[in-house]
Chain A
Amino acid sequence: MPKVTFPRMGESWRAFKILLEDLGNEVVVPPRPSKRTLDLGVRHSPEFACFPLKILMGTYLEAIEMGADTIVTTGGVGPCRAGEYAMLHHKIIKDLGHDLKMIVFEPPRLYPVNFIKNIYALNKARVSIKGIIDHIKRGWRKLQALDNAEKLSHIIRPRENNSGTTTRVYRKVLDWIDQANTTQQIIEAEASALEALHNVPHEPARPVLKVGIVGEIYVLLEPASNLEIEETLGDLGVEVERSMFLTGWTRDNTWSETTHCLTVKEAAAPYLPELVGGHGRDSIGNTILYAKRGFDGIIQLAPFTCIPEIVARTILPRVSKEYEIPILTFFLDEQTGKTGMTTRLEAFTDLMRRKKNIHAARISLTG
């Protein structure tokens, strides 16, 4: 039986694992990126490749050590580099002397045959088409449950009474969701997870700063690559709203009917009408939407040399000025240290808090 592994992105591995296992594969769960993962990745990747490529390289090599012989990953049609990752990874891994099968999912709308072929290759248990659809639905539901728990943890953490409780509870509830197997169980696990998070002793009325996080998807979703920025911010008393979740695009589609009658694309159009690949345009669009919703600040996360985010970063200062919203950018790479990042975040939080207080004082004086 082939031993399958896949890229790790935050907690999503729990859903992919159950899906691949249902289709009859043996799954090697990719390990959480560590110092060693990075070292391996950096050693075998091109020097100026972006950070996700290096982390994934390391993750794959570690998974191969654990016995994986097939990698399932995604492709893309550009112009972001991520679309070429699979090709490059495969070539490097082969060059290192590992015999390995790579199953690359291209966008199914453009390459339907590729999609069906790949599903067929992964479907070792010969599950019927209806069965596959059910499995995918269940995996998706699990992803949603994981995302919902994470979203709630971002809201509770800055308001908790004892620092660290939310993180502890959050880690625990992830296991509950992980152990749920049927859709019914997933829904129940999700409900009890949300309840457990709500039961963390916290002060719902505490005034907190609200920060939106925008940027490149991998460094947003993988806490090991962004040095747990959300936890750090939460501990500083900042409520975080992340612009991207794996299940998040559904929200983007419904947005046009709700808050500001704007999709991310429309919001970004005056500044960047072109799709520059990756999430460059989304970074700008989301920044504008957050500003309109009255957030206190924006943090942009991007891998070092990320092309689309550099384009976005060049334009963002103007957005910051016109919408009067502070923006802090982190270009992350293997040299980024957590202490340096925390210091910058502390300073940024202080500035936001001051701005907010001055603003509040001015309102109370005049009105």
Chain B
Amino acid sequence: MVVKVGIPSTLLYYTYYPFWKAFFNEIGVQVVTSGKTNKSILDSGVKEALADACVPVKLFFGHVMEIREKVDCLFIPRVVCLNRKTVFCPKFLGLPDMIRYSVNNIPPIIDVRMDTRQGPMSLFRAYLKIGEYLGAGKLTASYAYCKASNILNTYNSLLRKGLNPVEAIDYLENPNGKLFEHHVKTKTNLRFAVLGYPYAIYDSFINVNILDSLRKLGVSVVTAENIHPLLLAVQKNCGLPKRLFWTFSDMALKAAHLIFRQGNVDGVLHLTAFGCGPDSILNKFIEFEAKQHRNIPFMTLMIDEHTGEAGMFTRLEAFVDMVRRRKEMSACPR
């Protein structure tokens, strides 16, 4: 019988799922995801997780609850550091332990530690370990690792072409499909940058369809994932004495820094989750960045488990209208 590995479709899913899927398939393991977030996932997550945790972590609990009975083991790696510089949020570091000790009837968890600060080969070794756990030989695992890396590269280049992760994952799963369909979408005359973490921006349930709403309002969207990592890397510390510690926050701040400096967007949105620790710091820094560039309007949107679509849409509509009016005014000053 084929072993089934469960991957909750949230948090790091949006960044590494293609890699994981390719890797597991190559070593002969079936991957089961928890699918798109829905009401019941959110509700069970809110019920199971600690009330003080942030929404994304509550959602993660929900996704785990959704697949815990359908799989032989869960893949919740302890991802500490992937670029030798920044670490992930402490909640990510303690994720496997939080799940193991607070959810009942949990299948075995693959919680291999991934920390590239321990040497250049540590990531590779981590995957060999996963392979070993699932009964794959070193050779198979190495081959799978290489193949998965290739797929990840393709995925990242798709993102840079302007696709969002959900579309890119779809495209990778059936490549003969409609890659550029959404580019023929409704006409847009505004361009916004949406900053925030992949698991908040691309989870259309928890952010009540923010990307689609913007598209409907005639706004095209650029996110940090669409920017080349090198461009982000050259932002250094964004004029601060030290960088932000957290990978996603660091990326978002660099993207903000770059986008405000380039000035080729009409507005900037920061999407943050209620109770997100790193965001309390990040948001203030983005705000300071925005303060220096008063020609680009900036708004912070906060989402939580009670966010309603109507309320969110009204705020977006108002913001878009104001940006549009301002742009028209400045186009013909009289």
Measuring CB to CB, which residues of chain A are less than 8 angstroms from any residue of chain B? 46-50, 75, 77-81, 83-84, 87-88, 91-92, 95, 104, 271-278, 280, 304-308, 310-311, 313-315, 317-319, 331
Please tell me if the beta carbons of B245 and A78 are within 8 angstroms of each other in the complex. yes
* 19 chain-A/chain-B pairs, Cβ below 8 angstroms: A48-B274, A48-B275, A79-B88, A87-B242, A91-B284, A271-B97, A272-B94, A272-B97, A275-B93, A277-B93, A304-B52, A305-B277, A307-B278, A308-B94, A311-B97, A313-B52, A314-B49, A314-B94, A331-B52
Please tell me if the beta carbons of B281 and A84 are within 8 angstroms of each other in the complex. yes
CA gap between A140 and B215 in the complex, in Å: 61
B87, B91, B101, B279 — which one has the most chain A CB atoms within 10 A of its CB? B101
CA gap between A275 and B88 in the complex, in Å: 12
Given contacts A276-B94, A315-B97, 17 further A-B contacts (CB under 8 A): A46-B281, A49-B284, A81-B280, A81-B281, A84-B242, A104-B241, A271-B101, A274-B78, A278-B90, A306-B277, A307-B89, A311-B90, A314-B49, A314-B98, A315-B101, A317-B101, A331-B52
- With contacts A79-B93, A305-B275, A307-B90 taken as known, whether A314 is within 8 angstroms of B284 at the C-beta atoms is no
Please tell me if the beta carbons of B90 and A280 are within 8 angstroms of each other in the complex. yes
Q: Which of B90, B245, B279 has a CB less than 8 Å from the CB of A48?
A: B279
- With contacts A46-B284, A87-B241, A88-B285 taken as known, whether A315 is within 8 angstroms of B88 at the C-beta atoms is no
B53, B241, B244, B291 — which one has the most chain A CB atoms within 10 A of its CB? B241
**How many A-B contacts are there with CB distance less than 8 Å?**
117
Which 5 A-B pairs have CB atoms at the shortest separation, nearest pair first? A78-B245, A311-B94, A307-B277, A48-B280, A318-B101
* A residues in contact with B97, CB < 8 Å: 271-274, 311, 315
- With contacts A274-B113, A311-B94, A311-B98 taken as known, whether A79 is within 8 angstroms of B245 at the C-beta atoms is yes
- With contacts A79-B89, A79-B93, A311-B91 taken as known, whether A91 is within 8 angstroms of B275 at the C-beta atoms is no
State how many residues of chain B have any CB contact under 8 Å with chain A. Answer: 38
Please tell me if the beta carbons of A305 and B288 are within 8 angstroms of each other in the complex. no
Distance from B169 Cβ to chain A, minimum over Cβ atoms (Å): 28
Distance from B285 Cβ to chain A, minimum over Cβ atoms (Å): 7
* A residues in contact with B291, CB < 8 Å: 95
Distance from B245 Cβ to chain A, minimum over Cβ atoms (Å): 3
* B residues in contact with A48, CB < 8 Å: 274-277, 279-280
